[in-house]
Amino acid sequence: MATVISNERLANGVYHLRVEGDHGGKMGQFYMLRAWGAYPLLSRPLSIHQVNDDGVEFLYHVVGEGTEIFAELTPGDAIQLEGPFGNGFPEVEGKVALIGGGIGIAPLYYCARQLPDSDVYLGFSREAFRTEAFRPLAAELTVDVGGLILNSVDFNSYDHIFVCGPQPMLKAAQMKGAAAGAGGRSPKVYLSLENRMACGIGACLVCSVSCRDGQRKACTDGPVFLAEEVVFHD
């Protein structure tokens, strides 16, 4: 059991959870969390927002029964963490763009801390949150509310592009990545997928991802995949 340090509301339905303890992890990895006994039955996967000396931080969006319980947590409450799990984003060199959509900005903060010369692009459908925390870390910060953040990114300007957001955005990033390269750099595009999970450790095949070379697991082979490997179904 771990202890909640704080659980701050950032925007409508969006919270910033800080949990005490020696919880490590790489950028793009996730933890399985539960703040209840038996039900809801499954733990919830949340990506690492930041790792500190005294604990680990998460951003989450209230979308159902589990995150509703998270939203009620107050400092001192107990919470159970298992992890870190998943492959995470690769350690890269060169010019990097970090592109987040909505709650998909969550893992990118930890990336921005570790890749300090990155350009950061944050897109929101209605309300922006946590953008000022990125500002001192980003070489350049672009924020968009209500539009398509991908339209602001010139893929040819980067060696590596990390993307996390809703599936239509990931799909669009995949297409932009495939089209990039003519007359500029040819960026490697990495997508962090958000799939429903049950076990979180690669045993149950609930989070299966269709890839060019067959089925892979979001929890252990991912959640980060090279964009060109993923086959999106509608």
Partner 1 sequence: MISTSVDTTATIAGVHFKNPVVMASGTFGFGKEYGKLYDVDILGGISGKGLTLHAKAGNAGIRVYETASGLLNSVGLENPGVEAFLSKELPYWETLDTARIVNLGGNTLADYVLGAELIQRDANQRALEGRKAVDMIELNISCPNVKEGGIAFGVKTPAAKEVVRAVRAATSLPLAVKLSPNAEDIAEMAEMCEAEGADAVSLINTISGMKIDVRRRRSVFNNLYAGLSGPAIKPVALRMVHQVANRVTIPVIGMGGITSATDIIEFIMAGATVVQVGTYNFMNMRAGSTLVEELHQFMLEENISSLDEIRGIV
The site for partner 1 (CB under 8 A) is made up of: 32, 38-43, 65, 82, 196, 198-208, 210, 214-215, 220, 233
CB 42, min distance to partner 1, A:
6
Paired residues of 18 in beta bridges: 6, 57
Give CA separation, 217 vs 20, 75, 106, 132, 180, in Å: 29, 34, 21, 34, 27
CB 60, min distance to partner 1, A:
17
CB 95, min distance to partner 1, A:
36
Residue 40, preceding peptide bond in cis (omega within 30° of 0): yes
Tokens representing residue 72 in the block: 């009620």
> In the complex with partner 1, which residue's Cβ is closer, 179 or 204?
204
Query: With left for phi above 0 and alpha for psi between -120 and 50, is residue 25 left, alpha or beta?
Result: left
CB 98, min distance to partner 1, A:
28
> In the complex with partner 1, which residue's Cβ is closer, 78 or 145?
78
CB 105 within 8 A of CB 59: yes
- End-to-end Cα distance, the chain: 39
Paired residues of 14 in beta bridges: 11, 61
> In the complex with partner 1, which residue's Cβ is closer, 10 or 211?
211
Tokens representing residue 76 in the block: 């001192």
Give CA separation, 59 vs 33, 55, 56, 74, in Å: 12, 14, 11, 15
Give the Cα separation of 98 and 168 in Å (integer).
Answer: 17
Using a 10 angstrom Cβ sphere, with 0-12 exposed, 13-18 middle and 19 or more buried, the burial of residue 124 is buried
> In the complex with partner 1, which residue's Cβ is closer, 38 or 182?
38
> In the complex with partner 1, which residue's Cβ is closer, 82 or 127?
82
CB 38, min distance to partner 1, A:
6
CB 168, min distance to partner 1, A:
16
CB 166, min distance to partner 1, A:
15
> In the complex with partner 1, which residue's Cβ is closer, 143 or 199?
199
> In the complex with partner 1, which residue's Cβ is closer, 88 or 200?
200
